[in-house]
């Protein structure tokens, strides 16, 4: 299956374009970019452009790698890595809506939805199946957990645990129950995840120490609960905190 490259699109020497890719008019695929099979790049998107770092030497050989089946809409920019031989990474079957931006050295998982005008700074890590709402901005080195959903226009400067809903400025408002059920999480797994969430967010103390103690005891068996707790024990940035406990309890009861 051959790629389709429309007139006025630019694919630079050294770029790789997989089978079945569609590169629309005006799109630019820079040298060092690697597109998996069936990637669609809409007009005026730029894949593998130079990182926006003052001290970066453009002669350094780096790239951006896009997973199979990902769709990249108009004016999206995905910058290449700053580290020699390294790549900014985007997974398979992602959707990048118009004018979103992925900065150097970020890693985006599979099946991620990035809405219009989302801004990912350098070294951001986004887990599989996350949904990032329009206009949300993410501080460098932030981690966005698997299956989380971030509201539009949010300002994220801390790590977002897996399977949570977050809005405003690092404000956790509960679990992404709809997303969990759509991906086939069992009732038992959801209930255990709820227990892990309450343990971490409804008790006073160091959030990482609480999560680490729960992991050590082996109380939680489901993959979802263990991923939630493990994520919290890791990383160097702060963990996003919950809204007022009363509000969370009211939503959970509903």
What is the three-state SS of the chain?
CCCEECCCCEECCCCEECCCCEECCCCEECCCCEECCCCEECCCCEEEECCCCCCCCCCCCCEEEECCCCEECCCCEEECCCCCCCEEEECCCCEECCCCEECCCCEECCCCEECCCCEECCCCEECCCCEECCCCEECCCCEECCCCEECCCCEECCEECCCEEEECECEEEEECHHHHHHCCCCHHHHHHHHHHHHHHHCCCCCHHHHHHHHHHHCCCCCHHHHHHHHHHHCCCCCECEECCHHHHHHHHHC
19 is catalytic: no
24 is catalytic: no
Query: Which of the following is catalytic: 122, 127, 145, 174?
Result: 122
Query: Which of the following is catalytic: 26, 63, 105, 145?
Result: 105
Query: Which of the following is catalytic: 49, 104, 109, 159?
Result: 104
105 is catalytic: yes
Residues forming the active site: 104-105, 122
């Amino acid at each position: 299956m051959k790629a389709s490259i429309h007139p006025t699109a630019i694919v630079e020497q050294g770029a790789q374009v997989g089978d079945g890719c569609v590169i629309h008019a005006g799109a630019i695929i820079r040298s060092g970019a690697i597109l998996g099979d069936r990637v669609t790049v809409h007009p005026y998107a730029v894949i593998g452009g130079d990182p926006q770092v003052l001290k970066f030497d453009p002669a350094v050989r780096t790239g951006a790698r896009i997973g199979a089946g990902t769709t990249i809409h108009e004016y999206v920019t995905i910058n290449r890595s700053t580290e020699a031989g390294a790549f900014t990474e985007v997974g398979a079957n992602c959707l990048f809506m118009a004018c979103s931006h992925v900065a150097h050295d970020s890693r985006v998982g599979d099946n991620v939805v990035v809405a219009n005008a989302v801004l990912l700074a350098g070294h951001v890590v986004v887990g599989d199946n996350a949904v990032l709402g329009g206009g949300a901005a993410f501080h460098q080195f932030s981690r966005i957990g698997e299956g989380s959903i971030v509201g539009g226009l949010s300002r994220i400067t801390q790590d977002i645990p897996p399977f949570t809903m977050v809005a405003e400025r690092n404000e956790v408002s509960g679990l992404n129950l709809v997303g969990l059920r759509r991906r086939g999480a069992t009732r038992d797994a959801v209930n255990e995840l709820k227990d892990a969430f309450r343990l971490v967010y409804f008790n006073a103390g160091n959030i990482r120490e609480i999560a680490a103690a729960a992991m050590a005891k082996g109380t939680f068996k489901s993959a979802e609960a263990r991923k939630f707790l493990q994520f919290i024990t890791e990383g160097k940035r702060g963990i996003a905190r919950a809204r007022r406990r009363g509000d969370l309890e009211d939503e959970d009861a509903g």
